[in-house]
Structure 1
Amino acid sequence: MNLQNNTLAPHETLEVHELLRSELTCLKKLQANMSIVQDNELKQFMNEAMNSKQRSIEQLQQFIASGSAMNNGGMR
C-alpha cells in the first residue's frame, strides 16, 4: 500500500476483489446446502458461518466503496 496517498497497488486491488468473490462463493454454497442438512448442530454451525461471511462481505464492500481499494489507474 502506498502510504502517501492511501491507495492500493494494482495487485493489492485484485487481491481484495478476489477475496470478495471468494467470500461470496462460500456464502452461496452454504446457503445452497442448508436445505439438505439435517443435523441441528451442523445447521447452527453453518448459520454462524453464513453470518460471519456476510459480515466479511459487508466490510469488504465498504472498504472498496470508500475508495481505499482504488489503484492509481482508477480500477475498482
Structure 2
Amino acid sequence: MISQEPTLAAHESLEIHEALNFKTLCLAKSKLMQGLVFDQELKDLMEKDVQQSIQAIADLQALYVKAPFQAPVPEFRPTPILN
C-alpha cells in the first residue's frame, strides 16, 4: 500500500494563496508605517501585528506545501523605511 501525502483541492490552494498575499501585504504595510508613527503605544501595537503576521505567514506556508500547484513565496521580510 502506497502512502500518499494529502493535497489540497484547487479552490483551497487558491484561498491559501490569496491569504498569503494578503498577510504579506499587511506585514509590509505595518513594517513600513512603523517608521512614520511617533506614539509608542501604537508602535508597540504595530510590532505585535508584525510578529503575528510573520507567524500567520509561516503557518500558511506550511499548509501551502500541500497545494497541487504552487507559486514561489519570497523568503525576505520588508524593513521599515525609517528607524
The TM-score with structure 2 as length reference comes to: 0.73
Partner of 2:74: none
List aligned pairs for 1:17-56, cutoff 5 A. Answer: 17-56=17-56
- CA distance in 2: counterparts of 1:11 and 1:54, whole angstroms: 24
Higher helix residue share: 1
- CA apart distance, 1:48: 0.4
The TM-score with structure 1 as length reference comes to: 0.79
Partner of 1:63: 63
Percent of matched pairs sharing the same residue: 35
Structure 1 vs Structure 2 CA RMSD:
1.6
Partner deviation per Cα, 1:31-53 (whole Å, 9 max, x = no partner): 11100100000000000000000
Unaligned segments of structure 1, at least 5 residues: none
- CA apart distance, 1:22: 0.3
Q: Secondary structure at the match of 2:67?
A: coil
Q: 1:9 aligned to 2:9? A: yes
